[in-house]
Structure 1
Amino acid sequence: MTSNNVAVIGIGTIGSMTLWQLARRGIKAVGFEQFGIAHDRSAAGGESRMFRTAYMEGPEYVPLLKQSRELWEALEDETGYNLLTLNGGLMIGPKDSTRMKNVIQSVNDFDIDSEILDAEQAHIRFPQHKFKPDDIVLLDHEAGYIRPELAVFAAAERAEQLGAVIHRHAKVDSIEEVDGAVKVVANGKNYEFDQVIVTAGPWTTKLFPELKQNLKSRKIVMTWYPTDKLSNYKPDAFPVFGRISDDIQFFGIPTLEGTMVKIGSVDTFGEVDPDNILRDVKLSELKQINKAVQNFFPELRSDPMRISVHMDGYTTDEHAVVGAVPKHNKTFIMGGYSGHGFKLAPVMGEIGADLIEDGRTKFDISHLDPARFMKGE
């Protein structure tokens, strides 16, 4: 039986950052990852992820996002990797929609560097888009994009440099609090830890089946579109964007390699078993996003040049589950980020380290309390 201080189960988006933060504090930590580091089998693939501060999901996230930006920059400084590019972000939608109201409230409450444009002004400055007369457009100067695979690799690599241990290709079969410790079984081998934090993404319900009613693993499809006017979609000309339309919410990011434009729907395509996800894409799954590209981007071809399939854990209220497992004081959970967790990953790593070290955090995460879904024994 091997004895250590802390186990982090799942070294992906959140787990890699948690391991890095624990190692930064000199806390002895061991990570378990069932695949290799920075794999593309979950939510961290797809070349890019948006970073935005004027937040559609609610202004309560803005303090977390501001701290996350500082930590992204800290990880860049510690590793030498270019992870975050702030090229601005357009938040677009009807001004009376809940999500655009959240954007405006975020700006008003937290003094985000931004501009509000009407549809005519937006068309002059960003002619790549078609805007509707009733659209409000907010340009968030604190937005941009992140390189997800490299970010996970960088955080895990830095954690190891600082003394963390990672067991790769080590699938965790069970966790159990026993006699003042937490027993972890991985690849048939038993380990004991003082505390455990589970950051298993779409696999969360494999370890916590009581969450199945409120947390589902869902299929995500990402799409890239060609154009003969690529210079109009370089990072200095094409800010990232999030857009709400009548029947679809979608986003866009300039591609790093410069030959396509990444535009994708935030819609998901059914519940999946994370151990048996089919990565084929049906034509019907592309219908809405292809139509949106056709309607709103006259310079893009409306058939994607590249498609990739990923997955994430989605809760019924689309807010993550972060905190102590009810009735357990040594086991913590961080999952169910519902497609908008990557930008928050570094601050979530800090929160995870806070919970391990002190059992609490200075950040307001009351809206993420696992107790809303987990009653405990």
Structure 2
Amino acid sequence: MATRKRVAVVGTGTVGSQAAWRLAARGAEVVAYDRFAPGHDRSAAGGETRVFRSVQTDDGRYVPLVRHADALWKQLQAETGRELRRLTGCLFMGPADDPEMRTIMDVIAEHGLDHELIDAEALAKRFPQFRVDDGDLAVLDPHAGYIRPELSVQTAARRAEELGARIRRYTPVREINPVGGGGVEIRTDGDTERFDAAVVTPGPWVGDLLPDLPWEVSVYRAISAWFLPNEEHHAGDERPAFIRRGGIPFYGIPSPDGLSVKLGLPQAHHRPVDDPNRLERAVAPEELEIFTEIVRRHLPGLNPNPVRLAAFMEGYTGSTRPLVGPLPGCDDIVLLAGFSGQGFKMSPAMGDLAADLALDGHTDLPIEFMTTLGRTAA
């Protein structure tokens, strides 16, 4: 009988909670650590909703990973009885000649993805909540919608515990050290434990935990703003998530309450964070100007004054592709970091990938295009 592997998971957020679930499901002895607790809102996993979409806007090579994640989202919902996703569709809008809109069409064609093309005239009739310009094109991704991040993280962590994992909440990890002859030591303020392998998913704290990492992950402060409609929605209204390209790019997600809409911006509009332990959570009035401009130009049905604001942190690599794989010179430490705003929709697949690498030393998932750190393929 094969020896049962003992695996540490450092960080139980977006990816770490999924890794703990997938490792425990495969029979590993899992001990997970978090400086807070699964589902906290101090990094990137807060904000009530995240977009799930089958159509990828910048790199079609993510499509197989999202398909794998899609199956695991369904599995996690079935195992727990929790509604973690709601498929409302996702509407991509922008000038037909915009390079990113052309990329969307190329990805759809390459992977044979379900979609619906909607011209500006039809869009104005079907989705009057959006104001479009002449020459705009819309593409509806029907197998898309939103994920509930806090609920998803807590649910994956709880499922891992049901399968035997132990989660050490409010226990920051101070050091991760390889052991001569194989294995890893995890040091906290209270003790030091030895494991066969460690999956390290530290989010924006990657620089604190691994200061000598040869790849940089820059941390940015992302703002979310929630807006109420000027008039009551009708029960039959279609309310998909949406992503706007061209001009000022932005995205929006209908809230689970069926009333408000959350808006967010891409990295170019985020401020850098010098210290992830000192995130400025208050939003200044001047930071709202761009949201007001977006609402007045493109979303005439919303009141331009937000009813809720929140700030979060996201880690970006220079290439925007995540760091994935064992650390150079130490196959027993598997790092997943720097998802550059792309992580939540495919987080179960990343959890499966982490389990592959920690338990088997390789994976069949197609991740060669990412910033792979060490040996990842069989």
Query: Does the alignment pair 1:103 with 2:104?
Result: yes
Cα gap change, 1:11 to 1:64, in 2 (>3 Å): same
Question: Is the Cα–Cα contact under 8 Å of residues 242 and 253 in structure 2 kept in the other structure?
Answer: yes
- Aligned pairs for 1:205-220 within 5 A: 205-211=207-213, 214-220=216-222
- C-alpha deviations, 1:288-319, integer Å up to 9, x for none? 12211110011111121110111111111211
Amino acid corresponding to residue 16 of structure 1 in structure 2: S
**Secondary structure class of the residue paired with 2:45:** coil
In the other structure, the counterpart of 1:249 is: 249
The aligned residue for residue 193 of structure 1 is 195
Contact between 2:96 and 2:137, CA under 8 Å: does it hold in 1? Answer: yes
Q: Is the 8 A contact 2:225 2:309 kept in 1?
A: yes
The residue aligned with 2:277 is 275
Alpha-carbon contact 1:219-1:272 (below 8 Å) kept = no
**What CA distance in whole angstroms lies between the structure 2 residues aligned with 1:14 and 1:96?**
36
- CA, structure 1 residues 310+80, in 2 after alignment: closer, same or farther (shift >3 Å)? same
Aligned-partner Cα distance in 2 for 1:49–1:370: 25
Aligned pairs (5 A) from 1:118-267: 118-179=119-180, 180-211=182-213, 214-231=216-233, 237-246=238-247, 248-266=248-266, 267=269
Deviations 1:121-151 (A, max 9, x none): 2112111101122322110011100111000
Is the 2:225–2:263 Cα contact (8 Å) retained in structure 1?
Answer: yes
Q: 1:369 to 1:229 in 2, by over 3 A?
A: same
CA deviation digits over 1:256-297, x for unaligned, max 9?
Answer: 123422122223122241111111111222221221111001
Distance 1:230 1:325 in 2: 53
What value does the CA root-mean-square deviation take over the aligned residues? 1.8
Aligned equivalent of 1:359, options 350, 353, 361? 361
Cα distance change on mapping 1:211 and 1:23 into 2, 3 Å: same
Give SS of 1:275's match: helix
Contact 2:317 2:338 in 1 (8 A): yes
- What SS does the corresponding residue of 1:307 show, helix, strand or coil? strand
Deviations 1:206-245 (A, max 9, x none): 122244863111101000012232415x795111011113
Between the aligned partners of 1:212 and 1:81, the Cα distance in structure 2 is: 40
What SS does the corresponding residue of 1:329 show, helix, strand or coil?
Answer: strand
- Stretch deviating more after TM superposition (252-261 or 28-37): 252-261
Q: Which runs of 5+ in 1 are unaligned?
A: 373-377
1:85 counterpart residue number? 86
Contact 2:233 2:259 in 1 (8 A): no
Q: How far apart in 2 are the matches of 1:273 and 1:370?
A: 26
SS at 2:262's partner residue? strand
In 2: Cα distance, 1:211 partner to 1:83 partner: 34
Measured against aligned partners, the alpha-carbon deviations of 1:104-123 in whole angstroms (never above 9, x if no partner) come to 12211222111112212211
- 2:325 aligned partner: 323
43-52 or 108-117: bigger deviation: 108-117
- Separation (CA, whole Å) in 2 of partners of 1:178 and 1:98: 49
Structure 2: give runs of 5+ residues left out of the alignment.
Answer: none
Gap change, CA 1:259 and 1:239, over 3 Å in 2:
closer
Deviations 1:41-76, CA, capped at 9 Å, x for gaps: 111111111101111121101111111111111000
TM-score, scaled relative to structure 2 = 0.93
**CA spacing shift, 1:193–1:327, aligned 2, 3 Å:** same
- Contact conserved, 1:51 with 1:144, CA < 8 A, in 2? yes
Cα pair 1:241 1:251 within 8 Å, conserved: yes
| Number of aligned residues | 368
Q: Distance in 2 between matches of 1:296 and 1:92?
A: 11
Whether the 8 Å CA contact 1:312–1:339 is kept in 2: the answer is yes
Note closer, same or farther for the CA distance 1:99–1:211 as it changes in structure 2 (3 Å cut): farther
Bigger shift: 204-213 or 14-23? 204-213
Residue 222 to residue 36, structure 1, CA distance change in 2 (3 Å): same
Cα distance in 1 for residues equivalent to 2:330 and 2:173: 19
**CA spacing shift, 1:236–1:358, aligned 2, 3 Å:** farther
Distance in 2, Cα, partners of 1:101 & 1:235: 31
Q: Which residue of 1 aligns with 2:299?
A: 297
Partner AA of 2:297 in structure 1: N
Distance in 2, Cα, partners of 1:317 & 1:235: 42
Quick one: structure 1 residues 177 and 235, their matched pair in 2 at CA, closer, same or farther if it must change by over 3 Å? Answer: farther
The one-letter code sitting in structure 2 at the alignment partner of 1:50 is V
The AA in structure 1 aligned to 2:261 is V
TM-score (norm: length of structure 1): 0.93
Letter in 2 for 1:309: A
Q: What is the deviation of 1:4?
A: 6.9
The equivalent residue for 1:332 is 334
Q: What one-letter code is carried by the residue in structure 1 that aligns with 2:251?
A: F
- C-alpha contact (below 8 Å) 2:218/2:272 kept by paired residues: no
Structure 1 Cα separation of the partners of residues 214 and 273 of structure 2: 11
Q: Percent identity?
A: 38
